[in-house]
Structure 1
Amino acid sequence: MYQTHLLKDKTILFIKILVPILITQLGLFAMNFLDIMMSGRAGSNDIAGVAIGSSLWVPVFTGLSGILLATTPIIAQLIGADNRKAIPFTVVQGIYLSIVIVIIILISGAATIKPLLNMMNLEEPVREIAFYYLKALAYGMIPLFVYTVLRCFMDALGETRVTMIVTLLSLPINALFNYLLIFGKFGFPRLGGVGAGYATAITYWCILAITVWIAHKRQPFSQFHVFKTFYKISFTKWKELLFIGVPIGLAIFFETSIFSAVTLLMSQYDTITIAAHQIALNFASFLYMIPLSISMALTICVGFEVGGKRTNDAKQYSYLGIGTAIGMAIVTGIILLLFPSTIAAIYSTDSQVISLAKHFLFYAIFFQLSDAIGAPIQGALRGYKDVNVTLVLSLISFWVIGLPSGYLLAQFTSLGAFGYWIGLSLGLTVGALLLFIRLRFIQLRFKRELQKAATN
């Protein structure tokens, strides 16, 4: 990151930071897609087991790894304040905390996964594959969470292109080990869907090794000597990370878990409806990578300016990001409106499923427009380290407004399954408006605090 003075320069720097983040997020999305797609070639039980396992794992990972995203605004503000000496200490404490989080996940998973799977109405082969897929993934949790901290460190420096390259390298590694372990090629055991779990775990170890080497050997990361000093555990720094990170993680969990809840509620409908819903949901999740990436870029840019006490620059980046997200949402909305059949045909060849999916994709237009406003504002607020109110607003928009209104529309109107989408879009819209009000309040408060400090 570096200071800019003109809006044109800010736009160029923002795009330089944003594009690698977007490619990285799409790459991470593609890894999960590869697991499901390649498992499908092994058999219907395999794809079902991996899909169930993924649906349980993704909300847990995104929520708990969200805690570690606190590293980004903390380091971004340290850089903006030119306090570089504190950065390696922050990174190492983040690594310690990530390992503790993994231990908690492993202990909790060992106690709850089997009972949870037994509660589901699954065929025995599917239940078994889901369990062993998750067990295989567990071997890669430590490297995944440690990598998340190192990625936050690199991104906070504005070097998002590096983590993009690492993610792109991970895709062929993941595809190779999927091929070897799912199908039992070149003397490897044929593990079916479970092999996808081991392949992903191996991939996580590989990308951690690559990232550690880069952090140790390559500029500008090597100048911080992250691994040079063995720091003692600092509960004070953990408290700072958790104070910012827990609300971020919970806000992300509220958002990702809502889709799991809707999927469970959709089980009352026929197979065609469920399949069509899943198509629209998966494509909407793919499109969400755009506002999510803009959100992450804003955390870096706004955090840097806030650390440097540059009020107007932080505000300009905020509106630049929100405007970019809305513009992209309009473009993707037009694509959804013009090509719903083409999109649905990517996922299915069943004419009934495609026909119904077209209707779900229409409602996805409004869903992603609301996301385009809310997600970037959350990112900007994280740059200010303002996360607690965002957590409350996420809870209200999804679980107090979105899901209940969706349930009422689905159960007591002729909208049926489409009611859930309308309800969630309504919740997102209300949440986006409340977040915007919060952003304006924080911007004005930050300006007043700086003016007061200048007069004293």
Structure 2
Amino acid sequence: MARLMDTSSPAVPASVPPLEPVGLHIRRTVSLAFPVVLARAGMVGIFTADTIMVGHYGSAELAYLALGIAIQSIFLLMSIGLLQGTMILASQAYGASDWREAGAAWRAGLYHAVALGVVFGIICVLGEPLLLLIGQPAELAAGGGGVSRAFGLSMPALLIYICSSYFLESIQRPRVGMYIMFGANFLNVGLNMVLIYGLPGFVEPMGAVGAAAATAVTRWAIALTVLAYILTLPWRDGEDPFGVRFRAARWWLEARRLGGKIGRRFRQQGIGMAVLMALDAAAFQTLILMAGYLGDTELAAYHIVVNAMILILMMAIGCSSATSVRVGNAIGRNDPLNLRRAGWVGIGLGAALVTPFAALAMLVPGFIAGIYTGEAAVIEVASVTFLVAGLILTVDAAVATTIGALRGAGDVWPTMLRFIGSFYLIGIPSGYLLAFEVGLGAPGLLMGLGAAIYVAFVLLVFRFRVVSHLPLKRA
């Protein structure tokens, strides 16, 4: 049992622990964040490989891929938001040395992952009529719908993996997800080479749909792998402290009630994050759809820049997850001083990690765009858009890690209102005005997004300052 325990997360002490040095907080956050960063980057790496390989196949196919991703993104991010209830409950339980509750949080998340995956997967299968309904041209709707259909068939698998990776990170086993995602990227690239470009005499070229099909197979592979790891923990450890051993009767009874009592607590924490991420995705994808109205070239360029931004921001997302876990652990052991320091250190690290890449986006935008596509018109638009991205990335990283700190503290709805309000009241209106009325195109859309990010940063940092001084309470 001793080796399961995080030495930085002792059982609840009789008195408030002393404030730890900043250097120690940095080392602990980095040690947890590093494998999480690589795991998150691996997830986005799959989409990046799809984008690059489809981009060299043709700009029209890249536009199809962008629309297909846009459909699934809203439902996917909403599901990810709900599943973060696993991280909140499991990390706080782990900080309090409540192993069984940490395992129960994973099982509750797993039941929700399967249910959401089936429902949202069916919606993604209906991608083409959805795109036609919102006014996309018939050709774009058909191509994007085919991509969405392939993604929809693997939605349950992806959510199972995400829920399980949150659990492993919460119990200080983040390297598992990192190793799984390394293998997943190799598998995805190999399948892409066959399904996107075809195999003469055996497989016809499938373009964007082939990339989505390759990703679907990869998702099922990572889901089965992570389940195999968690379910065999009792055999490797010689005991079952987290209660993850499969027992059909118990699991079936819990599944029928979606986790029972802890399932209700899971939803109380996760629903707010689900709404936040769904509205965030809706705002984000609204800008993608606006780019579609600007034409294939603008859409392809905008998609390239957004994909590169997301890949860079995976460092901040990994730091955000690590910060969330460390804040949650501090709450579990009733440690307000180190809760605050863990939060501020995480926010600073997230911004610092991304800053060099923000500088590169401004210094060599054409080179980065050329990695994704060889079409001169797309590179020209993407290069200007990358200049805007360079001004946004550092602040966006700070926003992501601030949300992680607030999530670990269980602050959901106030965070959601501040973050989403910034996007809907500022981001979308200003993006529309700059792109269409002023005529700036794709760079204008990203400028609107940047305005929302700057406002959200101010609001959320002030919110964490308030929350971190409130009395501690487990979710």
TM-score, normalization by structure 2: 0.85
Q: Which residue of 2 aligns with 1:190?
A: 204
Whether the 8 Å contact between 1:280 and 1:357 is mirrored in structure 2 is: yes
Q: 1:29 aligns with which of 41, 44, 48?
A: 44
Alignment of 1:39-188 (within 5 A): 39=54, 46-109=61-124, 112-119=126-133, 120-124=135-139, 127-185=141-199
Tell me how far 1:45 sits from its aligned partner: 5.6
Whether the 8 Å contact between 2:154 and 2:216 is mirrored in structure 1 is: yes
Tell me how far 1:417 sits from its aligned partner: 5.0
Letter of the 1:202 counterpart: V
| Bigger mean CA deviation after superposition, 156-165 or 245-254 | 245-254
Letter of the 1:227 counterpart: R
Letter of the 2:154 counterpart: G
CA distance in 1, matches of 2:127, 2:112: 23
CA distance in 2, matches of 1:293, 1:182: 30
CA distance in 1, matches of 2:153, 2:301: 34
Whether the 8 Å contact between 1:216 and 1:225 is mirrored in structure 2 is: no
Tell me how far 1:196 sits from its aligned partner: 3.0
SS at structure 2 position matched to 1:403: helix
Tell me how far 1:192 sits from its aligned partner: 1.1
| Bigger mean CA deviation after superposition, 187-196 or 289-298 | 187-196
CA distance in 2, matches of 1:348, 1:281: 14
Tell me how far 1:186 sits from its aligned partner: 9.1
SS at structure 2 position matched to 1:446: coil
CA distance in 2, matches of 1:62, 1:129: 22
Tell me how far 1:203 sits from its aligned partner: 1.6
Q: Which residue of 2 aligns with 1:227?
A: 245
Q: Which residue of 2 aligns with 1:453?
A: none
Letter of the 1:214 counterpart: Y
Tell me how far 1:77 sits from its aligned partner: 0.3
CA distance in 2, matches of 1:371, 1:66: 18
Whether the 8 Å contact between 1:46 and 1:192 is mirrored in structure 2 is: no
CA distance in 2, matches of 1:50, 1:288: 21
CA distance in 1, matches of 2:156, 2:420: 29
SS at structure 2 position matched to 1:224: coil
Unpaired runs of at least 5, structure 2: 1-5, 10-19
Letter of the 2:273 counterpart: I
Q: Which residue of 2 aligns with 1:291?
A: 316
2:419 is equivalent to residue 391 of structure 1: no
SS at structure 1 position matched to 2:469: helix
2:425 is equivalent to residue 420 of structure 1: no
Whether the 8 Å contact between 1:326 and 1:373 is mirrored in structure 2 is: yes
Question: Relative to 1, partners in 2 of residues 1:197 and 1:268: Cα closer, same or farther, differing over 3 Å?
Answer: closer
Letter of the 1:379 counterpart: G
Whether the 8 Å contact between 2:66 and 2:303 is mirrored in structure 1 is: no
Question: Relative to 1, partners in 2 of residues 1:132 and 1:266: Cα closer, same or farther, differing over 3 Å?
Answer: closer
2:313 is equivalent to residue 278 of structure 1: no
Q: Which residue of 1 aligns with 2:269?
A: 244
Question: Relative to 1, partners in 2 of residues 1:45 and 1:373: Cα closer, same or farther, differing over 3 Å?
Answer: closer
1:125-179 C-alpha deviation (Å, 9 max, x unpaired): x544433433333332222212222111101012111110011111122223333
CA distance in 1, matches of 2:437, 2:143: 37
Whether the 8 Å contact between 1:42 and 1:192 is mirrored in structure 2 is: no
Tell me how far 1:39 sits from its aligned partner: 4.2
SS at structure 1 position matched to 2:468: helix
Question: Relative to 1, partners in 2 of residues 1:188 and 1:177: Cα closer, same or farther, differing over 3 Å?
Answer: farther
Whether the 8 Å contact between 1:71 and 1:149 is mirrored in structure 2 is: yes
**CA RMSD between the two structures:** 2.8
CA distance in 1, matches of 2:326, 2:223: 25
Question: Relative to 1, partners in 2 of residues 1:109 and 1:419: Cα closer, same or farther, differing over 3 Å?
Answer: closer
Q: Provide the aligned length of Structure 1 versus Structure 2.
A: 447
Question: Relative to 1, partners in 2 of residues 1:195 and 1:362: Cα closer, same or farther, differing over 3 Å?
Answer: closer
CA distance in 2, matches of 1:423, 1:196: 30
CA distance in 1, matches of 2:205, 2:122: 25
CA distance in 2, matches of 1:252, 1:106: 18
Question: Relative to 1, partners in 2 of residues 1:402 and 1:164: Cα closer, same or farther, differing over 3 Å?
Answer: same
1:256-303 C-alpha deviation (Å, 9 max, x unpaired): 332321122234546554444333323222222222221111111111
Alignment of 1:351-370 (within 5 A): 351-370=376-395
Unpaired runs of at least 5, structure 1: 451-456
Whether the 8 Å contact between 2:90 and 2:103 is mirrored in structure 1 is: no
CA distance in 1, matches of 2:360, 2:136: 37
| Bigger mean CA deviation after superposition, 403-412 or 152-161 | 403-412
CA distance in 2, matches of 1:181, 1:347: 18
1:344-370 C-alpha deviation (Å, 9 max, x unpaired): 322344455444433322221222132
TM-score, normalization by structure 1: 0.88
Tell me how far 1:25 sits from its aligned partner: 1.4
